[in-house]
Amino acid sequence: MKPKLDMSCFMGKLLGSQSRIAQLPGKPQYMQAMLVIALFFSVLTGAQAQSTGAATGKLHQIELVAEKLDGGYFAYRMKQHVVSATNGANEQNVTSRYPDYATIPGPTIVIDEGDEVDLTLIHQFDPDAPGEDQVSVHVHGVHYDILSDGTLKYINMVKDESAVPAMVYEYKWHAAAGTAGTWAYHDHNMINHNGAEDKGLFGALIVNKKSGSVDINLQGQRKAAPLSSIQKDYVLYMLDDTFAGTEIDSITGQQTYLGPNPAFTAQQGTNVRFHVIALGTNLHTFKLAGYGWIDPGTNAVIGEKAMGPLEKHVFTVQAGISTVYRDTAFSSNLLGMKGNFNVHPQ
């Protein structure tokens, strides 16, 4: 016997998230109407969050949908992502970069230091199950005020910052200078004040540095490489019993959902960036055999990293050999918690 992973179990695609709603008689019209009303009200009541600091970056208007999948999973889906100047000029719709179904991890939001995000969360599943009537987005790292914390009133003492079946919730983030890095976003409100981050409601926010450079290990030395040299970004969530990941073409921004223990591909000699984020209850040691990379914030070259839930570890390597990434923890090893890093010759 050996661990067998069902690749389909992590995604909403096969389950027809749209048809799920359509199966509920009268629901689509009702939902749409409530959404319109909700959006209208959120405009009327004004932005809950005041943008902080002088914005010099872009504005990202994002509509994110939270869905329920078979198997007890929940997941986020990108409904719309429009990038513009902060005054709304030069709108560019980049929604096609994302899978059109809910994924675990959820869509990776890639922005630049200085950008602002206006994120509207839509609760789109049947709320009959106890505790599933609220869902939120709590983001790490960047700036936001107390109304965009994505927590319950139980915690923030102001209000339940949740999307509910009849009302969207709008979060405003500012990736101010000093917040560059990769950060998790996740639910904080479903079921109780801890949220359902362990049921699939998580994703990554990548805030690229204004300086436009990344650190890379060249013959044991830390060297700066231009951000533009990165060909692929790999978002790799390290859960208690599996990895779950997305591969991003860094040039086009196109995101490919890869599911549990994903196999990443790279062209030999190109720079690729790993964004490893842990989530769950277990502690891990991440290892990419045969590679050394710069431990962020230091000059040290390392080949493995001890990590705990919601820590992030971001590093860039020049693709050389094909190898395997893994978590070396005892049970993770037995469960086959690993995946391939396939490097193809140019």
Partner 1 sequence: MKPNNFKISLALVFLIALLFTSSLALAASHTISMTAETLPNGQFAYKMSNHTSSDGATNNYPAGATIPGPTLFVKAGDTVSISLTNNTSVKVGLNVPGLSTDSSEASPGQSKTFSFTASKQGTYPYFDDGSQLLGLFGAIIVDKTDGSVQSLVEDEGAITAVKRSDLKKEFVMFMVGSTFWGTEIKNGTQTPLWTNPTLGAVKDDAVRFHVLSVGPGHTFHLHAHRWPDETDFAGMNVDPNMIDVKLMPAGNASHSFTVRAGTGVGAGHWQYHCHLVSHMESGMAGKFHVVDKNSGETGNSIAGASPSGAIFGNASNEPGLVTFEVSDEPGSWFRSARADTIFSITKSTKSLEIIPPGSSVHFIMSDTNGVHTITSLLWPSDADDPVHGDHYTMPFTQTKAYRGGGIVKLDVPGLYVFTCKIHPYMFAGVIVDDPNTEGLDLGESIDLVTGVKGLPTSSDLATRLVRTFFVATSQNNWLDYTSSAPWHANYASVPVRITGGAVANLKDVLEARYGQDVTLPALFNPTTPGVGEVWINTQFEKTAGKTKPGTITVLDATNWTLKRKIALPSINMNNPHNIWSNKDQSIVYQTQWFDTKLTMINRENGALLHNIQVGDTPSHVMTLPSTDDITVAINGENGVVRIPAGTTKPDVMMPTQGPGQTPANPHGHWITPDGRIVTPNINTSDVGIYDSNDGSIIARQKTGGVFPSAPHPIAIGVGIDKIYATNLLDHSINVISFDGTLLKTIALLADYDPISPTGPDTLKDRDGDGLVTAGVLPIQTPVDPSGRVVVTANTGGTITIIDTKLDKVVAMLPCDPGCHGVNFGAKQGGGYYAYVTSKFSNQLIVVDVDLENPANSSIAGRISLVAGAGVPSDDTVSSLAGMGGQGIYAIPNIYNGWVQNLPDSWKANLTAAQMNPVQ
Which of 103, 255, 261, 316 touches partner 1 (CB under 8 A)?
Answer: 261
Q: How far is the CB of 187 from partner 1 (least distance, A)?
A: 12
Helix and strand element counts for the chain (H, E):
4, 23
Query: CB-wise, 213 or 322, nearer to partner 1?
Result: 213
User: Does 156 interact with partner 1 (rule: CB under 8 A)?
Assistant: yes
User: Does 296 interact with partner 1 (rule: CB under 8 A)?
Assistant: yes
DSSP conformation letters of 249-282: ETTT--EEEEEESPPEEEETT-EEEEEEEE-SS-
Structure tokens at 218: 């060249």
Query: CB-wise, 38 or 102, nearer to partner 1?
Result: 102
- Selected range binding partner 1 among 78-86, 147-155, 248-256, 319-327, rule: CB under 8 A: 147-155
Q: How far is the CB of 108 from partner 1 (least distance, A)?
A: 18
User: Does 292 interact with partner 1 (rule: CB under 8 A)?
Assistant: no
Do the Cβ atoms of 267 and 231 come closer than 8 Å? yes
Do the Cβ atoms of 61 and 74 come closer than 8 Å? no
**3-state DSSP call for residue 296?**
coil
Residue 17 backbone class (left: φ over 0; alpha: ψ -120 to 50; beta: rest): alpha
Q: How far is the CB of 97 from partner 1 (least distance, A)?
A: 24
DSSP conformation letters of 218-242: ETTEEEEEEGGGEEEEEEEEE-SS-
Which of 79, 97, 140, 338 touches partner 1 (CB under 8 A)?
Answer: 140
Q: How far is the CB of 195 from partner 1 (least distance, A)?
A: 9
* Residue at 158: amino acid letter: V
Which of 77, 232, 312, 326 touches partner 1 (CB under 8 A)?
Answer: 312
Query: CB-wise, 107 or 339, nearer to partner 1?
Result: 339
* Of residues 201-260, those binding partner 1 (CB under 8 A): 209, 211, 215, 222, 239-242, 244, 260
User: Does 200 interact with partner 1 (rule: CB under 8 A)?
Assistant: yes
* Of residues 11-50, those binding partner 1 (CB under 8 A): none
Q: How far is the CB of 346 from partner 1 (least distance, A)?
A: 31
* Dist. CA 54–CA 104, nearest whole Å: 34
User: Does 178 interact with partner 1 (rule: CB under 8 A)?
Assistant: yes
User: Does 2 interact with partner 1 (rule: CB under 8 A)?
Assistant: yes
Which of 81, 174, 287, 326 touches partner 1 (CB under 8 A)?
Answer: 174
DSSP conformation letters of 10-42: GBSGGG-HHHHHHTSTTHHHHHHHHHHHHHHHH
Structure tokens at 49: 């969050």
